[in-house]
Structure 1
Amino acid sequence: MLLKSNFLNPIIFIIFTIFTPFVTLIESKSTIEPCSNSDSCNAMLGYTLYTDLKVSQLAALFQIDSITLLTANAIDISYPDVENYILPSHLFLKIPIVCSCVDGIMKSMSTKYKTRPADTLSGIADLVFAGLVSADQIREANVISDPAFLDVGEILVVPLPCTCFNSSDNFLPAVYLSYVVKEMDALGGIAARYWTTVADLMNVNSMGSTAITAGDIIAVPLPACASNFPSYSSDFALTVANGSYAITASHCVQCSCGPGDLNLYCTPASLAVSCSSMQCQNSNLMLGNVTTQPSAAGCNVTSCTYGGFVNGTIVTTLSTTLQPRCPGEHQFPPLVAPPSFADRGSLFGPSPAPSQSQGGSPTTPKSKVVPGSGFPPANGPSGSTSGRNSAASSLVMPFSNLPSALVFSIFIKLVAL
């Protein structure tokens, strides 16, 4: 026994010495915004698809409208049968949600998930919802006494992170994106990708240093265009992130933000049907129309603008202003084709926004089977592969993923004993 012990001790020491630099424990954390009233805001989730999903399937996963999902990512909704377009695995998208005050904390409780065979809480949290929620949070929200047993068809509430901060950042309109930090992320890279600063991210997330860990969820302020609709309109406080669109007024009106400025600009939606009048009273101008008339004093600009959706009626406002010079043609955020592939390299940094993704012509590839589940993705996609459980720690780099040269060096050291 002594010989065996003497032989094993150096092996254990070598393995511990070599692998220690690659082993890092992950403890998930997220920004928590205390609240004390019933205020809500528009917010976004940064989500990476775990498998190929139809647009309608992804929308159903988060209980949002398919067109709302597409317009938030500036994806062209005019493509034929776009709701059945298949989005590729690993694609990063922004998911629009409503952020509300629940039990003194801002979060979203509107997403429900229907369990399927082979589901586990960790699989649902880490795979299906891409680390936006932890297994413990799902367990607590649904008062699950034994997480090892989930009934098939059980409806679970999935609490998702979000922040409002009065829909402003440094006194300017903003929409907050909940972003899950990836293994190779750096705070500076995230700040650069989303047109903000490291100091601003640290301030928003109450960080004492720039250190971030894979699995952390940080709030990222996105510059936005804010509305000034009356409080009695159904789309009161509508805020649209820069470079994207929002659909409102029962799919009749589409509002955009940027890229030239941060002023909300609304026009009739391309899919508008059975809508109330969008013509400004006492004029022949329609919603979104602008006319200019140069004069010696400047430029007289007359516009027909959107004023909110009130009791099923689209409110329009006719206004005339004198400006130093006549405005040029309005620039809309560029629309992109539905993405046909995802850049795998983006898994190790802030993923490209859809406006930077390469899209192709619509195709109808066959739907893939969800890995490990044996079931094709449906309205409530399941995930049977267990990932990081927030109540327990896991390895950032599994031994099986270590470089072959490192494995070979270990073997040589063992043989030399």
Structure 2
Amino acid sequence: METFRLTFPLLLLLSLSFFLSLSAQMTGDFKCSGKTTTCLSLVGYSSKNATTLRNIQTLFAVKNLRSILGANNLPLDTKRDQRVNPNQVVRIPIHCSCSNGTGVSNRDIEYTVKKDDTLSLIATEIYGGLVTYQKISEVNKIVDVDKIEIGQKFWIPLPCSCDQLKGEDVVHLAHVVKLGSSLLEIAAQFGTDNTTLAQINGISGDAQLLADYPLNVPLKACTSSVRKDSLDAPLLLSNNSYAFTANNCVKCTCDASNNWTSSCQASSEIKPLNWPTCPPFPQCDAALLRVSCRRPRACVYAGYSNQTIFTTASPACPDSAGPGNYASTFSSSFNIVMVLIQCALLCLCLL
């Protein structure tokens, strides 16, 4: 009995500490307190049963299938009835809105209650653990979670964020944790580090993650020259993804091998939206292209307005190769020194 009296408070304290360390992940709230209040974010969705891209598009109220195709780098001619295997993760772009320090998807994503549905089933099975039933209940002001009716429509508040990471733009991904996963494994999978994941999720570094709950994972984004006053700003693309913008007249892609810089080109793959035809890219000022560069810089996409496509000079010079690899520079210098030494020795021998 005495041992119990001594250990019970300790166990209670440890349990409380454990609960607090996981509270951010348990609530599913992603911090969003930066300057940008709206953006495109991503959620990683998977179903326990086989489904189709059409069903996923409908479930998440995505207007155009190509938005999903671009987020997953799938060919543009992929059909809506393309099969998606059980537990296969599909990235879904969502419109994120931030207020009161938290980011949630806009109200476009609604679910209509069907027979035998429960809030828990909707959260864990239908939306794959991306949202908690408590959050659905909270935003829809549901008094009794056990009393929902067929035909009721609920707003599904998916977690998201628009915050920068260390002053750089990132694409936030809501990743549902799998059983047995660790921060270190998830960080390695998505090209970040466990310290960063722990900080932005408010989790103790040595805490065990909760399976089937969302985790905020920041994905490095390609830089772009899109102006702040452009209708598609900020244009954020993660590696191996593409998107159509400027009323479908421009296709931008992100490829890490391209020095993490977005590549935007005029596109005729799909019909323009709101414009009868796509306007040509305006030419950049020749003097601007040569500023600080030995060769002219490229004229790149810089955004659009209701009537105009903008262009500007690329931020980097085409001949700015940088200092090069330190090892190769050292090797070349070393070889030159060795040649000079050998020549000096040969001269001494001849003397």
Gaps of 5+ in 1: 1-24, 284-290, 292-296, 327-417
- Contact 1:177/1:219 (<8 A) preserved: yes
Flag the structure with higher strand content.
1
Matched, 1:257 2:254: yes
- Residue 177 of structure 2 aligns with an amino acid whose one-letter code is V
Hey, what does 1:277 align to over in structure 2?
279
- Contact 1:299/1:325 (<8 A) preserved: no
- TM-score for both structures, normalised by structure 1: 0.62
- Contact 2:221/2:260 (<8 A) preserved: yes
Cα gap change, 1:148/1:31 in structure 2, threshold over 3 Å: closer, same or farther? closer
Matched, 1:232 2:229: yes
Cα gap change, 1:70/1:319 in structure 2, threshold over 3 Å: closer, same or farther? closer
- Residue 310 of structure 2 aligns with an amino acid whose one-letter code is V
- Contact 1:227/1:236 (<8 A) preserved: no
- TM-score for both structures, normalised by structure 2: 0.72
Residue aligned with 2:222, SS: strand
Task: Quote the Cα distance in structure 1 between the aligned partners of 2:317 and 2:217.
Answer: 37
Residue aligned with 1:159, SS: coil
Gaps of 5+ in 2: 1-18, 322-351
- Residue 130 of structure 1 aligns with an amino acid whose one-letter code is G
Q: Deviations for 1:177-204, whole angstroms, at most 9, x for unmatched residues? A: 1112111211111011111111221222
Task: Quote the Cα distance in structure 2 between the aligned partners of 1:159 and 1:322.
Answer: 44
Task: Quote the Cα distance in structure 2 between the aligned partners of 1:273 and 1:242.
Answer: 25
Hey, what does 1:209 align to over in structure 2?
205
How big is the shift at 1:115? 1.8
| Percent pairwise identity | 29
Equivalent position to 1:60, from 58, 63, 70: 58
- Residue 199 of structure 1 aligns with an amino acid whose one-letter code is T
- Residue 174 of structure 2 aligns with an amino acid whose one-letter code is S
How large is the Cα RMSD of the aligned pairs?
Answer: 3.1
Matched, 1:122 2:115: no
Matched, 1:72 2:71: yes
Hey, what does 1:199 align to over in structure 2?
195
Hey, what does 1:315 align to over in structure 2?
310
Hey, what does 1:95 align to over in structure 2?
92
Task: Return the structure number with greater relative CO, CA threshold 8 A, min gap 6.
Answer: 1
Cα gap change, 1:123/1:176 in structure 2, threshold over 3 Å: closer, same or farther? same
Q: Deviations for 1:308-366, whole angstroms, at most 9, x for unmatched residues? A: 1210433334669754369xxxxxxxxxxxxxxxxxxxxxxxxxxxxxxxxxxxxxxxx
Q: Deviations for 1:121-178, whole angstroms, at most 9, x for unmatched residues? A: 111100011111111211222122233333322211011111222xx32333311111
Structure of larger gyration radius = 2
Hey, what does 1:83 align to over in structure 2?
80
Cα gap change, 1:202/1:153 in structure 2, threshold over 3 Å: closer, same or farther? same
How big is the shift at 1:36? 8.6
Cα gap change, 1:109/1:313 in structure 2, threshold over 3 Å: closer, same or farther? same
Residue aligned with 2:68, SS: helix
How big is the shift at 1:266? 0.7
- Residue 202 of structure 1 aligns with an amino acid whose one-letter code is A
- Residue 233 of structure 2 aligns with an amino acid whose one-letter code is F
- Residue 232 of structure 1 aligns with an amino acid whose one-letter code is D
Task: Quote the Cα distance in structure 2 between the aligned partners of 1:108 and 1:325.
Answer: 41
Matched, 1:247 2:244: yes
How big is the shift at 1:106? 1.7
Cα gap change, 1:46/1:108 in structure 2, threshold over 3 Å: closer, same or farther? same
How big is the shift at 1:84? 2.9
